[in-house]
Amino acid sequence: MLAVPLLELSNLAVRFGGLTAVAGLDLAVEAGSLAALIGPNGAGKTTAFNAITGVYAPSGGSVRFLGREIGGARPFAIARLGIARTFQNIRLFRGLTVLENVVAALAGAERSGVRDLLRGRAWREREDSARARAVFLLERLGLERLADARANALAYGEQRRLEIARALATGPKLLLLDEPAAGMNPAEKHALRELVRRLRDEFRLTIVLIDHDVQFVMNLCERVAVLDHGEKIADGRPEAVRRDPKVIEAYLGSEAESA
């Protein structure tokens, strides 16, 4: 018997009025794998992420996580099931400190609130263990010396890493990275590749990342799916995908088409 894929999209569609952003997307992501979703700008990559994480409700098809239908569930409920993400345009809690950003994610699942008023031993233990865990995560991402800085005071690359640390704090099984390499130079991209690999192994994650560049995911992902105009045009090992004539056309011909 085949194992159930961790994440399974079948015939997923997202439409905004007359515009179809994602049309009939099928994708199965095996547990422990490192996959990429690539495609030209406007291909529907981020929309697919948003449909998986509940930011948009799918207009059709299904999203199954661990064999369970999650299409249309609220984003926070999906996050609690074990899907964490980062955003293309970084969304940190800018006014909070680096440490608070991560602690917020650790506390996200358990709503304490009013019960915290009486600060008993249980509260203090929870608070201390959350802090220790947050510091640990920050260390894994090389941000521990910035723990007390405001998030908006961080450099761009550091903000990206903090977003990953915050996502990890939710204890995810599946991590979705939306253009983690955007705006990075080749050296930074190289470091990012190492980081992604290391995190996958250390935290036993399944990672799906978005990029528009085949080159970036080449030596990183075992599996690449290519989207163009909301449709999947290729899916397979990166070398094969790179040689796929449809992919070449999508990338090189897209400008001519849209003109």
Q: Which residue has the tokens 């008993």?
A: 120
CB 195: neighbour CB atoms within 10 A? 17
CB 38: neighbour CB atoms within 10 A? 27
C-beta of 37: minimal distance to another protein in Å? 17
C-beta of 129: minimal distance to another protein in Å? 10
DSSP state for residue 89 in the 8-state scheme: S
> Cβ closer to another protein: 24 or 75?
75
> Cβ closer to another protein: 24 or 142?
142
> Cβ closer to another protein: 37 or 247?
37
Q: At what angle do helices 156-169 and 98-108 cross, to 10 degrees?
A: 20
> Cβ closer to another protein: 116 or 239?
116
C-beta of 160: minimal distance to another protein in Å? 14
Q: What residues make contact with another protein under the rule CB under 8 A?
A: 53-55, 74-77, 79-80, 84-85, 87, 91-97, 99-100, 103-117, 119, 123, 126-127, 130-132, 135-136, 139, 144, 147-148, 166-167, 169-170
As beta bridge partners, residue 207 has: 34, 175
> Cβ closer to another protein: 74 or 246?
74
Using CA atoms, how far residue 108 sits from 78, 84, 100, 176, in Å, is: 12, 12, 12, 18
C-beta of 75: minimal distance to another protein in Å? 4
C-beta of 52: minimal distance to another protein in Å? 11
- Rounded to the nearest 5°, which phi and psi values hold at 114? -60, -30
Distance CA 66, CA 129 (A): 29
> Cβ closer to another protein: 23 or 209?
209
Distance CA 143, CA 140 (A): 8
C-beta of 104: minimal distance to another protein in Å? 4
